[in-house]
């Protein structure tokens, strides 16, 4: 049977020892200890407040794409679009769709740090793996085309994102620091092309560009 006699004895001895130390504690050391304790408590509360703070990315200024195009990976056609769409399916005869993005840097971003972000509101569509790959393009899409030439001009694989409704996507992995981390913003008027691509065989991500989708945040 478990007993607690030894614990009580230790507690009594410990109390006695504490009394001895307390009675011989130098007053100056006691004051320093109290000040240190108050500082520690303040630090803990400050850290807790910081952890509870909302994500600041929602409040940071940003600019949205100046143009959005849908690209058919089977026939190379580029179509103008009123919605963002990335779709892959095993039953669409290879007519998967990626979204080509053109960003035009505003004067407000000059001299600041830029970073890519992707946001979906609750009204967006998100099925399948809920993942997106982000690539740079050699140049922005030139406009609608009915077939091959110039194609999507896919270039550097920047990273892979996990999207969710009502929040910003998070990076599963980044393969390049450009815009996946804070990067010097380009001069006003500079245009850049990017491509958002589905990851697995049956994925759909669609959004209203007026309220959601890709953006470049500048701070």
pLDDT in the model for residue 108: 98
pLDDT at 149 > cutoff 50: yes
Residue 98 and residue 86: Cα distance in Å, rounded?
5
Q: Per-residue pLDDT averaged across 129-137, rounded?
A: 99
Q: Per-residue pLDDT averaged across 100-123, rounded?
A: 98
Q: Using H for helix, E for strand and C for coil, what is the string for 115-158? A: EEEEEECCCCEEECCCEEEEEEECCCCCCCECCCCCCCCEEEEE
In angstroms, how far is CA 65 from the centroid of its own chain?
Answer: 17
Residue 196 and residue 146: Cα distance in Å, rounded?
20
pLDDT at 204 > cutoff 60: yes
Domain 58-218 bears CATH identifier 3.30.70: no
Per the CB < 8 A criterion, the answer to whether 162 and 130 are in contact is yes
Residue 10 and residue 13: Cα distance in Å, rounded?
5
For residue 113, give every residue at least 6 positions away whose Cβ sits within 8 Å of its Cβ, in sequence order, or none: 182, 183, 184, 185, 218, 219
Residue 203 and residue 90: Cα distance in Å, rounded?
10
Q: How confident is the model at residue 4 (pLDDT cuts 50, 70, 90)?
A: very low
pLDDT in the model for residue 58: 58
pLDDT in the model for residue 187: 98
| pLDDT tens by residue, 57-102 | 557 999 999 999 999 999 999 999 999 999 999 999 999 999 999 9
């Amino acid at each position: 049977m478990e007993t607690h006699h030894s614990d009580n004895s230790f507690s009594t001895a410990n109390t006695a020892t504490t009394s001895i130390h307390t009675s011989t504690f130098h007053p100056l050391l006691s004051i320093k200890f109290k000040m240190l304790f108050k500082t520690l408590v303040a630090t803990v509360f400050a850290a807790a407040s910081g952890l509870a703070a909302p994500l600041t990315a929602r409040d940071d200024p940003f600019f949205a794409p100046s143009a959005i195009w849908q690209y058919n990976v089977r026939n190379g056609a580029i179509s103008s679009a009123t919605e963002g769409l990335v779709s892959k399916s095993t039953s669409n005869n290879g007519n998967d769709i990626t979204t080509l993005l053109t960003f035009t840097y505003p004067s407000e971003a000059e001299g600041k740090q830029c970073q890519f972000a992707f946001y979906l509101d609750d009204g967006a569509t998100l099925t399948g793996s809920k993942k997106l790959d982000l690539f740079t393009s050699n140049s922005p899409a030139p406009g609608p085309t009915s077939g091959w030439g110039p194609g999507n001009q896919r270039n550097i694989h920047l990273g892979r994102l996990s999207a969710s409704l009502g929040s910003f996507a998070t990076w599963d992995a980044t393969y390049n620091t450009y815009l996946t981390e804070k990067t010097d913003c380009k001069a006003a008027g500079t245009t850049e092309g990017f491509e958002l691509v589905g990851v697995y065989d049956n994925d759909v991500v669609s959004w209203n560009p007026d309220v959601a989708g890709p953006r470049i945040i500048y701070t």
